[in-house]
Structures are given as C-alpha cells and as structure tokens.
C-alpha cells in the first residue's frame, strides 16, 4: 500500500470472524473493505447495503425474461403460471423481510440520534 499526502491510515483491532464478516459484506456491496468501512463511518448520509436487493433483482429479471418469452409465443402454460406465482410470492417475502430489516435499521439510527 502506498501512502500519499491525501490519505491517512487508521488501524483497529477486531476478531478474525468479524474481519471475515466485514470482508463478505464489502464484497457483496461491490466495494473494497477500505471503501466499505469508510462509507459506513464517514459518509454524511449513512449507506445501508442491502445484499438481498441483488437477489430480488435477479429473481425479477428471470421472471421478466420468462414472461417476455411467453409473450412472444402467444400463450402461457398453466404450469408456468404456477411457477410465476410461486416466484412472485418468493419476491414478495424477500421484499417484506427487506422492509423489516430497513425499518429496524432506521429505527436504530433514529434512537441513536435521539429522534425516536
């Protein structure tokens, strides 16, 4: 790592499993560990990284792809409709779980700021 006049190094200790968790979360967010930690600690508007969002996007993309295929053929078999319904139920559950997670995060932030 090269040092420059524009950066300063901060070190802190944590357990190896905590470092692994931070590394996994950073990778899931598409960031380096340094960028991930810096964004959480120093950003004026705190970022909430939602790993689940990628899974929801993937599910919706696959549903859309299948729907476009069946639109081009002019018909949708009943079996496929059942699969779409099941997939949409899964997405709805994921969104509900995600909403609860975001609500809990925002609630904790409000309490930390004395807003709640």
3-state SS string over 77-109?
Answer: CHHHHHHHHHHHHHHHHHHHHHHHHHHHHHHHH
Please, what's the largest Cα pairwise distance for the chain?
Answer: 65
Integer CA distances (angstroms), 112 to 37, 43, 57, 84, 115, in order:
19, 16, 31, 42, 8
Full-prediction pTM beyond 0.75? no
Strands of the chain (E only): list them: none
| Mean local confidence (pLDDT), 5-19 | 88
Residue 53 has pLDDT above 70, yes or no: yes
Between CA 116 and CA 111 the distance in angstroms is 5
Backbone φ and ψ of 51, nearest 5°: -60, -35
pLDDT at 104: 64
pLDDT digits (tens, 9 = 90+) for 55-113: 787 888 888 888 888 888 988 888 888 988 898 998 888 888 877 777 765 655 555 55
Which of 10-24, 27-41, 49-63, 92-106: highest mean pLDDT? Answer: 10-24
């Amino acid at each position: 790592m090269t040092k420059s006049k524009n950066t300063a190094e901060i070190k802190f200790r944590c357990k190896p499993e905590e470092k692994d968790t931070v590394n996994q979360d950073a990778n899931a967010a598409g960031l380096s560990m340094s960028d991930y930690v810096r964004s959480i600690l120093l950003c004026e508007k705190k970022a909430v990284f939602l790993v689940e969002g990628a899974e929801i996007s993937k599910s919706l993309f696959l549903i859309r792809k299948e729907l476009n295929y069946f639109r081009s053929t002019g018909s949708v078999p009943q079996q496929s409709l059942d699969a779409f319904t099941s997939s949409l139920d899964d997405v709805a559950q994921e969104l509900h779980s995600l909403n609860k997670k975001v609500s809990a995060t925002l609630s904790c932030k409000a309490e930390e700021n004395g807003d709640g």
